[in-house]
Every structure is written in C-alpha cells, then in structure tokens.
C-alpha cells in the first residue's frame, strides 16, 4: 500500500500578512500569497499536502494548532515577534507534540538583541533563519523525512 500523504500546517504570525510591503529591505518583495504558492508547489513536488494559516493574534494561532492537531503530521511556524516572548505558543506546540520547525525569513541572530531569543526553539526540531523562502522549503524537507531528525 502506498504511504499516506502527510499534511503539514504552515503557520504565519503577526505582521506577516504585510509581506511584500513590510520592510522589503529585510523581508523581500514577495507577498504572503506568493510565498504560500511557492511553498505549496515545493511541498507538492515531494508529495506533501500543506495547509496555511496567518493571524496577528496569539490566541488564534493557538486555537488553529489545537483545531488541526489530529490532522497534521508537521508544523512549519514563523511566529513573527511572538517567537521572542510567547510562552503560550511554546506550550501549545509542546502540548500537541506535533513535530515542528521554526522558520524566519531574516537572520534573527544578526539583528536587534531581542530577536536573538526564541522561546519556541526548544520545542522545535530545528530553527532555520536568514534563508528567505528557501527556509520554508528546507523545513518541509526536514519534516518529510521519516522520522524527522533533530539537528545534531
């Protein structure tokens, strides 16, 4: 029997709806719609189904994760600024136990001090940053591996 197709949730946090117009010198000129289309195409190429969710609200992101926890096998999350302080989001990832990869378009380690801390890092298999949309592709590749391996 062929293996069942995996479904991953790609979650975008606050302000990522403004991609394309938001600080393009940092985040590039691609809109969120274009980014999602590129992710979908990449995922389809390796036989993975993706669903997308963006919200500017911490609770909505958590609710979405809870709602989908039984139907997804992986989470790609760019939590935006929530990355740096949302213990509630961290607990939500830990509570669901879904294998997750943290992605950032920019290199958070080469920017302001406050961006260097990620409170979700420990509950994710890996953190990928500074690679633009390629970071999402790499995250999907990592989760698609069976079982996904933690970075050594």
**Residues forming the site for ligand DQA (CB under 6 A):** 15, 78, 80-81, 83, 104-106, 108, 115
Tell the smallest beta-carbon distance from residue 47 to ligand DQA (Å): 26
The H or E element containing residue 72 is none
Tell the smallest beta-carbon distance from residue 77 to ligand DQA (Å): 9
Catalytic member of 42, 66, 84, 104? 104
Q: Please list the helix, strand and coil fractions of the chain in percent, rounded to the nearest 5, in that order.
A: 45, 15, 40
Nearer to ligand DQA, 42 or 104 (CB): 104
Tell the smallest beta-carbon distance from residue 70 to ligand DQA (Å): 27
Nearest in space to 121 (alpha carbons), one of 71, 70, 73, 85:
85
Nearer to ligand DQA, 6 or 139 (CB): 139
Cis peptide before 49 (omega within 30 of 0): no
Nearer to ligand DQA, 73 or 123 (CB): 123
Nearest in space to 75 (alpha carbons), one of 112, 96, 101:
101
């Amino acid at each position: 029997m062929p293996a069942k197709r995996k479904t991953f949730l790609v979650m975008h946090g606050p302000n990522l709806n403004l991609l394309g117009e938001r600080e393009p010198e940092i985040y590039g000129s691609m809109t969120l719609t274009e980014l999602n289309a590129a992710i979908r195409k990449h995922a389809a190429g390796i036989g993975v189904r993706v669903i997308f969710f963006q919200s500017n609200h911490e609770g909505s992101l958590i609710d979405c994760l809870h709602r989908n926890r039984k139907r997804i096998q992986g989470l790609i999350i760019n939590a935006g600024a929530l990355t740096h302080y949302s213990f509630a989001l961290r607990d939500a990832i830990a509570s669901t136990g879904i294998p997750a990869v943290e992605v950032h378009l920019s290199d958070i380690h080469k920017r302001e001090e406050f961006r260097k801390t990620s409170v979700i890092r420990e509950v994710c298999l890996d953190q990928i940053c500074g690679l633009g949309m390629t970071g999402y592709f790499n995250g999907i590749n990592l989760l698609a591996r069976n079982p996904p391996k933690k970075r050594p």
